[in-house]
Structures are given as C-alpha cells and as structure tokens.
Amino acid sequence: MTKRDEKVIQIFSRTHLGLWTLVRTMWIGGTIICGIYMMFVYLLPLVGLIQQPPVPLKLTVEVIVCAIPILSGGLLTSERIRNDELSVLIDEKFLVIQLDRHVVVTCALELASVPSSIVVFPGKEPRYNAALLLALRAGLDSRVSMAYEVGVEKGEPFLRLFITASGKNLTEIKEILRREATRTEAILLASLNGVEVHQLGEDKLRGASEIVHRLDSLRKPSALVHDDGMLQSLTFIVGIPRVAPSIDASQVGTFISTAIKQRYSVTLTCVFSSAKAGRERKRMEGEWKNIRAKELRNEDSLTDHANKRKLLDQHERMHGDSGWFDNSVYVLAKAKNTAELERVTNGVNGLIASIWGGEGNISLKKRGIRGRTVCRLITRRHFKRQKIHVSSLVGYVNTPIQQLPVIAATVAPVFPVPLRKLIDNDLIIGETIYGGRRISDIGIRPEWLREHVAVLGATGTGKTNLVKKLMLELSLKTDVPWWVFDIKGSEYADLAGWDSDILILSPGKDASFVMDLLDIEMDSSEVDAHATFAILRELINERGVSSELSPAMEKLLRESVMELAESRHATKSVQVLNQIISKLAGNDRFGSMTRDALLNRLEILSREPLGSILKGGAEALKISTLLNKRVVFDMRHIARVGGMDAVRILYNLVAKRIFDSAMKRGIKPGLHHVVVLEEASNLVPESYTRHSAADVTTGESMVMLQRATGQGVIVVSTRPNISSNILANTATKITFRLPYDSSIGSKYMALNAEQEEYLKSLKCGRALIHVPSSSTFEIATKLFVPMSGILGKDAKEAVTQGCEKAELKTVVHEASVIIKPERVVSDRLGELANHVVAFLASRDMATEIEIRSLLMTLDSQFAENDIAEIIRDLVSLGAIAREALSLVPGGFVFTVPGRELEAVRNVIMNYMTRRLDSVHNLEYQKLDSNGAQLIACNHAILILPNHLKASSIESVLGQIGACMSELGNNINKLVVVVRGSIAAAKLRELIDRSETFDAVTVISAFPSSLNKVVDELVHGKPHRSEVVEEQLGVVAKFSKSERVDLRGAVHDVGSATSRAVQMRLWFGLIEDFVDLSNGHIVWDALLEFIDTTALQSLKGRSAPMSVEEGKRALTELLADEVLVALRVGAEKRYTDFEKNLWIVNSSVLKELKERAINLLIEESGKQNESISQGHEYYDFCVGKKSYVVFPTQQQLNTLLNLHSDVACRICGSTQVICLLTAAEYLDDGAIVPANLIMKTMDDAIAEMLV
C-alpha cells in the first residue's frame, strides 16, 4: 500500500467519522430546539403564562423542527444496529447470544421414550392432559419462554423442549435457566411416566439450534440456503387450533408419522410463555352480553345460538384466569432444491390444515428468513404473539401415542426388586431398576463366578462394558487371577491401565508366542491325545460337508495323534503330526488317498498363522505358567489372517490347557481362577452335530467339569446360540437386548410373554439378570472408566465416582446442580452393526454390494479394505449372517441371524420364478407348505437350503419321501435343489439305491443347473441321446484346448441315471488308471480310457457301465480336487510334460508345485530382493509382491474376494501373483481385484517376476 493510498484512507475515515459526528450534533441540537419550540409555542401559552408568539410559515417551521431530530435519530439508530457486535457461543450446555449489552440464553432438553399425554376416562371422550402445561406455567419467570419442538430430521423423529431467557446479566440468566431446567425435568418426570430427559451438550445443542446453518443469515438478509445445501421455508400458524385427540393417535403423533412416511424434513415449533387473560376474557364477556341483549329483544338468530354454545364451551374449559399463554407457532420445512421445497411446503401446509384446521380457525402465513428472524429462530423466541388458553394450546403441546422410532415409549413390565442382603455384595456391576428408576447398587459375590456366568446380548448393547467392569472389580477387590479371550483384540486392552501386571498376549503377531499341539505337561498323554483328537474332529466336521472326516480319515487322525503323544519327540508340533500321518497311511492307493484327503483337511493347522504358533520346540510357551497372572489373550491377528476357523482351533486348544490345569488342581473351596470366553460360540456352540440328546461336546465337558475345582467361567455371546448344556448350568445369567433370539433368552431367564417382548427393546446399558436364590430383575450397568481418563485419584474411588457421573441423568432433582448425561456404551462397530442389522431386518436379504453401499452411505471416508474388515467382523461376531450362494452378485447372501435358510430359499425361488416369468404362456404355482415350494408343468421343485451333512442325509430322505406322499400322483417329477455339487452327488447316490425315488432328480443350486430345469420345463425332457451329445460336447471343448470352466463341467453334467455302485466303480477305475500312469495322464487319453471301458463293459459278464456316468465321475473327482487339471503351455521350465491338457493326482501336483516355487524363488533371488516364506497363505513374498502357486479352489475364492490394498499383512505387499494349473479354473465373468494378477503355465517365468 502506497503512502497516497494510506492518506486517502485516512481522509475517508476522518470524513466518515466527521459525517456521523455532524448527524449526532444535528440530533442533539434538533431535539433541544424542538423541545424549546414546543414549550414556548404551545405549553406555556396553554397554561396562560405567556401569549402565543406569532410564527411565520408556521407549518413549514414545525415540519423542519420535528423532522431534524426524527431523521437524525433514525440514522443514528440504524448505524448502531449495523455496528453492534453479535457473539454466539456454547457455554456449559447453554447457547448464549449477546448483542451489545443484551444477552439471550437458551438450553434444550431432549425427550425419549415418551408415553402418550392422552387420558381417557370411562364413558368420556379422550382428552389431552393439560396438567403438564399448567405446572410449567406455575412459577414460570416472566423473563423465560419455552418452545415445544417436534419434527423429523434425516428420517428420524425428535421431541425437544427449549427454555430461553433474556436480560443483561449473563450469570443471573444462566442461574434462572438452571432453576427452570431442574423444575421442568421434575414436572416432565412426574407427568410423563417413564420419559427420558437429556440435556443437550455442546455438539448436539449446536446441531439442534442449527447455528452453523443460520449464522450467516444474520448478515445476509436473503440467505435461505443452509451450509449443507438445504433450502428452507418458514410458515407461521395464526389462530386457535382444533383440539382433536383420539384413542389411537395424537395430533403431534399424526404430524410426525405422516412426515416420516412422506420423507419430509420439517420442524413444528410452539413457543409459549405465561400471560394474563386481559382483553380476551373481556371480549368473551362482551359477546355474551350482546347475545343476551338480542335474546331479550327477541332478535337472536341461529348464528347467535351457535356462538352462545361456543362461548359456554370455551368458558367451561378455561376455569378462570390461570390458564392463559402467549403463543407463537411456526413451521420450518427443508428441501434440496426449489421445486422440492415448494412440494414439501405445500404438503406440510395441507398436513397442518387437516390436523389443526377447521372452519377457518387458523391461517398460514409464509415469511422470509432474514436478519433478526434468524436470531429468534436460533433461540426459539416469540415472533408475533397471540393469546391462547391451555385448553387450545394442548393441541400443539402433546406427545405421540403412535409407536414411533426413538421417541415412542416402551411399556415396561414390572420386575421385582430382590432383597437388599442378596444384592449388597462386593463386585458392583450396576444399579437395580424399578419403574424405570435406579434404586440401589447391585453387586455379585465372587463365589457366584465359581458357578459360572452367562452374558448374552446383541452387538453394542453393553456386554463387554459389563464384563470389563466386573473384571476390574475382581482385580481391585480380590487376588483372583483371570484369563480373557479377546477375539476383537481392542476390547480389554484398557484394563492394563488399572494394573501394570496385566499381561497382553498377541499370538501370531508376537513371534515369541509358540506352543505345542499337545500338552507335554499332562500326566496322561493318552487322555490329552484323545481330547485333542476330539477337538480337531469336531472343528473339522463342522466346517462343511466337503470337510467331513470319513471313517478311514478319522481312524488315521486318531492313531496319528496317539502316536504323537506316545512318541519321544521333544516337539509335539503340527509338523511332526503331519509326518506321522504320512508314515501311518501306508503306500498303497487307498492309504495315499486317505492321507492326502486328511492332510488337505488339516491344512489350516500348517499354514499361517497356526503353522508358526503350533510348531512347538524348546521355546514353546507353557500355558500353566500363566495361570497365576491376569491375561488378555488378543486373537485379533489370528482372526484377520487365518479367519474364524483358525481362531476356533487356537481358542479350543488354549482353553483346554487352562481347564486341564484346573482339573489337576483338584476339588478346592473358593474361587481360584476365572476365564472369560468372549464370543463363546467359538468354543461351545449349540450347532455341533449331536447323535443323541445326551451327547456332550468336548468344549461342553471342559466347561461343565470346572465348578468343583474353583474355576469360574464367564461365557459371553452376541446370540444365545451357545450350548444349551452350558446355559442351563450357569448360576448367574445376564441378558441384554435380544431382538431376534428373545425366545431362547426368555427360556433360560424364565420370562413371561410380556417380559420377553420387553427383552427385544431393552436400552443400551440395561439388562435382565438372574442370580442364585432370586427371580429375574432389571439393572442398569455401570460404565467402565479407563484409567487414562482419571488421573490423580484413588483407583477404587475413581471407579465409583466416574461411573456415577457418567450414568446419572441430565438434571439432578436438587436445585442448581447439573450432571453430565448418561453415556451409551457403544463402539463404532456396534453403531455400524445396528445400522446393518436394521437394514437387513427390513428386507429378506442383501448382497455384499448392497452392504458395501450402505456402509459407504454411513461413512463416505471408508476405504475398501475397511469395509471388508467391518463385514468380516460383523459376520464373525454373529451380528449378521452370511451364506455362500452363486446366484447373487458377489457370491454371498447376508441376512440377520436366524434367517439364513429362509433367505437362501427365497433367493433360489426368486431366481426360478424370474426365469419362468420370462417364458410366455407358462403357468406355475407357488406353495407355502413345508414340502415343495413350486409346481410347473407337472414338475414339483423342493428347495433344501441347509448344508447337507452326513448325519442329516437320512432326515433329508425322509423329507423328500414326505413331500412325494403329499404331492401324490399328480406330479410326474420332483426336482430337489441342494447347495453344493458334492452334497448333490452324495444325495444322488443314496436316492439311486431305492426305487421309491425313481421320479426324483437332484440338482445343485448353480445357475447352469437351474437354467436346465427351466429349459426342460419349457421344451420338455431332453432325449437321452441329447444328454450324451451334450456331455460329449463338453469333452470336445477340452479336446480342442478351448478354455472351458472346469467347475462348470462339474455342474453341467446331466442327471444321475445309473446305480450308485457304477459310480463307485468309475471312481476307483479312473483313480487307478491315473496312478498307473505315474500320476499323470493326458486329458484325451483319459477320455479314451472311459470310452473303451464303457464299450468293454457291454461284453462278457462284467457290469455294464455308461460313458456319461464315467464323465460324471471324472468331473466330480475334479471338483473334489482328488484329481487336478494341468494345462502345460509354452513355458517348459515348470514341468517336463509335453504341451497339452493333463490330469494329475495330488502327489504329482505337490512335486510340480515345489518345483515351480523353487524355480520362481531362484529367479527372484537374481534380482537381489528379500524373499520371505510362511506369510499367511502365500507361498512366498518378494518385495511388494506375494505369490500363490497352484491354489486350491478355496484359496482362489479367497484371492478373488481380496478387497484390500495391502495383500500380506506381515510384509505389507500390495500385489498378488497367482499361478493357475489351468485357465479354466477361473470363470470368464469373474471379477478380479486390481492388485491380483492371474498367470498360467503359458506365461514365461520372466512375466511372473515383472
């Protein structure tokens, strides 16, 4: 800036100030002159003291004398208003707006769980309870006004009560508001039974007042746009509203529910303050006298009689002068654009007229939002006041009777309060609840933990908070050690802040955590081996039908585990177990097949992270040495890298060591150790296969035998799907909200129907508890307070004071004391789980794409890997359920727990009906029975959505038989749809054994199989020659070296028509032929072998064998990965085979895989990059790349679902190179992640390393 510019500014400033000084001088001088003129020209002559002086041009002079002070005064006032400093701030939960020396202060109370304000007396019409308004009016300070605000914001309703006062002394005004807030809360609690009142804090108060959106409008008169892009429209309601309560609905409830349905974003605000009757009562008396005078003169009309009745009704409702209020009512509507705002405004105006209007008693006036209007909107103060009686005001100030989200009250059943001596114990966990109010502290006795505790509840309801509080109490008040299994890994770490001796173990992440597969400290190695074998058998069998152990595999596993226990190996590791399995299996064909199948099922023990944990050795950790400590067992890394299957195995193995040590301790009185089983369904699920009602699983037996040893067990689960044996044997049961499994929770808590319904809607932090010698009652849990938030206090005192502060309500019933509102115990995952569960509960199912879209809507900052991890956590914690199904995008169906089978059935049914709808003139019928779900063209379709297991096959056959009996002779064919090709093959094999099921066809729930069924319905049953021709077409595709989906070949083979014995013969012949060919055979040669064998079987006395059954056997062997297709290309260094499509057995594949890995590692080493092996399920990692060579189908599916920028969490690689045995294993339509590169044996090794 130049000196010339500075001089110009100074001159302008002096000129500006000089002009306003001149105006001020004119105002002062003009006022004095005007006063003198009025005195000498009018006042003094009027009293006779002087004669009125003559004034030439009197009118002109008087205009000038009066105009100067008026105009100059107006200019000065406008300038002062323009230059007044407006300050807005949040101070101790108060919104403070200060303009010059005047201050306006506002606080807000939010209402939730609000009961209806409608009262109904026998034989009378329903009416609103006006006692609330009269109580608020009584004693209301003249400087205070209140605003009752209802509305819908972003689809969620709200009820708020604003209290506003104005004056010049900020401290005095805040004190008035504190007093009024205390009085108001007491009135609300007394008038509305069970209502929850929360005083809004800084952030919520700022949002409710919309300060951010409206501040600019104070200086921009035409600013109608919010910062978030929403337009707004202001409409005033003038007149006396119609008051029309009903038994089913209140007027405010109708307004809110309609706004929700119409998706309006709207707010109705009713401002009121106390007033006197004044002219309103005199007006009524005047009207009454006029009517009476007309009656005396016989001049009255029907209109006068109607007005007379209205006046009498009004007078009867008013009951004196004490029920009058000053009132302002306005509506604020919001929308994204002008057209939508116009639509919403018109809709809201019509809604208001229909609810509160009638006979022209109210009118709607639109008003712009500008200047000082905004300030009044922020503070909820009066605009243009109108006088109204409480009998009419209740039309605006009433509460909903309709069941609305958030604000609607839940009718709570009455639970008894136990005797004080029963709950006055050491370990304080909460407070008893009676009639919605906290009564007294509840504590549990340490010896009750010895009899086991069950904590159940949905995600985010407060289970973990309760257990942490209990463990903290146990740590501070006893010397009992404990062990917590923390699957999420972030829940219990903050306990270490209270006790520096607490040990946090992170297996997998901490390389020093190593243990043996078998416990070498056990006195009886045979008993330990048997228990370990039982754990492995149960966990493997429950992974699915394709993972079940055959009798031969089960026998081999048992013998190998026993051999490992009895061997002299110092290391009882997984690697040694694998060696023993290979040794005991033998070298014959059957032994090799059993060995390979068993090792394939035990692969999870060998790969990361369990492979490095269970390797044993001299440095192996002995769990027994940690049982005198307090341990948090962080299993987060195991869950992320190895999945929940790996978690279950390690969970069971470690829990077994803990419980074995307790058994060695023997029978002892008192509590000696406590184990917290978070997500206990991983150890003792109810879903484990039982052959009889008396069966007890290994996990159950471990837990149930601990009472006498002084070992306490706390089982924690998001759903009551843990073992019924365990639940029945827990002395203390604590159940939080169970929205979908309330019937199971009710069974174990001994609840009636009303109490069970209440269990579905319990608030966060509230629970039902059953302790020994007591019936079920309700508690509010105390909050666990981390040590980091409490410094300089004694630990025990901090727990008590911190929890009480966090849990007390908004305003204490003693004067002028404000306490922080109750905190809701819920982490971010819990909030997301609630949104996702609510989304799934509103529909049958959702795909992964829809779940991802929902999470992105909730938080647009989520990255792809964040969303994948959230979904994985929600599934593993049981908040949502996931089922694999290839009929939907992404291959997974998501639904709420308990609805999995229904969702799968509906997806299959919808797929079939969509295909049938696309065909003209094809009629079909849906059935709601437990049998067939669909009938079309004399064909019935039965959908079996559950996973078939060996133990359930017989019951499935019974279900099919019952369905056939129900259908009778009207159906020519029954098509049974099952999940999985292997399950379909096993069911076909059993069906083929009986002529009863000749009319039954079993297919897999794959698109190709379902499409064929629809095509058959449309075009009729294909001729047998067409089926053979189709199968030969599939073979021809392989012969021509075209890229064909091998898995598609598995499911595209026609229906089974041969006997089960023929399939078994083909399995054995094909495997023998491959083995005799040194484990590898060309594809065409194998097909020729099948053709030749089928032709030769027609001669002589051998059993006839069909070509199509041979091809079906081959494709099922490929699907089960007993045999593997290998397409050898131009790159000769991987193998010595010629260029062709080969079929190899598992032994040859293993050798080829080792050769390929060694070759790639050797070539990578030439690039001077670090090479690592043993990282998760990758074969090796080089730099920023991870390699997978010849993956199994399960590994390939895992890679295709890789939604993270980081591939390997150990080395941080960002790219995955996958070498396939044949390109046909990858679907043409498969979506490959950007950081996954698929290679085949056609690609040169150099391309693999780029």
Domain boundary among 267, 297, 320: 320
The whole domain housing 642 covers 416-513+625-689+696-822
Same domain as 753, residue 715? yes
Same domain as 158, residue 26? no
Residue 506 token pair: 């992170």
Domain boundary among 83, 115, 146: 83
* Rounded Cα–Cα distance for residues 833 and 460 (Å): 8
Same domain as 388, residue 261? yes
CA diameter of the chain: 156
Q: Is residue 660 part of a domain?
A: yes
Same domain as 524, residue 585? yes
Query: CA torsion sign, 136 to 139 to 142 to 143?
Result: negative
Pairing of strands 1236-1239, 1215-1219: parallel
Same domain as 382, residue 357? yes
Residue 611 token pair: 């492979």
Query: CA torsion sign, 1205 to 1209 to 1213 to 1219?
Result: negative
Q: Is residue 969 part of a domain?
A: yes
Q: Is residue 312 part of a domain?
A: yes
Domain boundary among 83, 117, 140: 83
Same domain as 710, residue 845? no
Same domain as 287, residue 342? no
* Rounded Cα–Cα distance for residues 1002 and 987 (Å): 7
Q: Is residue 530 part of a domain?
A: yes
Q: Is residue 1131 part of a domain?
A: no
* Rounded Cα–Cα distance for residues 769 and 1109 (Å): 61
Q: Is residue 408 part of a domain?
A: no
Q: How high is the pLDDT of residue 384?
A: 86
Burial letters for 1134-1156: b for 16+ Cβ neighbours within 10 Å, e otherwise? Answer: bbebeeebbbbbbebbeebbeeb
Count of structural domains within the chain: 8
Same domain as 658, residue 739? yes
Same domain as 432, residue 383? no
Amino acid letter for position 1035:
V
* Rounded Cα–Cα distance for residues 1179 and 1184 (Å): 14
- Nearby residues of 597 by Cβ (< 8 Å), 6 or more positions away: 550, 553, 1122
Q: Is residue 916 part of a domain?
A: no
Same domain as 228, residue 369? yes
Q: Is residue 764 part of a domain?
A: yes
Q: How high is the pLDDT of residue 471?
A: 92
- Least Cα distance to 382 among 209, 214, 678, 147 occurs for 147
CATH number of the domain that residue 845 is part of: 1.10.10.10
Same domain as 68, residue 130? no
Same domain as 336, residue 472? no
Concatenated DSSP letters of 215-246 = GGGGT-TT--B-TTS-EEEEEEEEEPPP----
Mean pLDDT by 10 residues, the chain (1250 residues): 46 53 84 89 85 85 87 78 68 81 89 84 82 84 92 89 91 89 84 81 78 47 50 91 89 92 93 80 75 80 78 62 85 91 93 84 85 81 88 91 65 78 88 79 91 88 91 91 86 82 88 85 73 83 68 88 81 87 85 86 87 85 88 88 84 86 84 88 60 50 75 86 78 88 82 87 88 89 72 40 35 30 43 72 79 75 72 74 80 81 86 78 69 78 79 78 78 82 70 77 81 74 40 42 37 41 79 85 87 72 71 83 85 81 90 89 82 85 90 82 79 89 77 85 78
CATH number of the domain that residue 111 is part of: 3.40.462
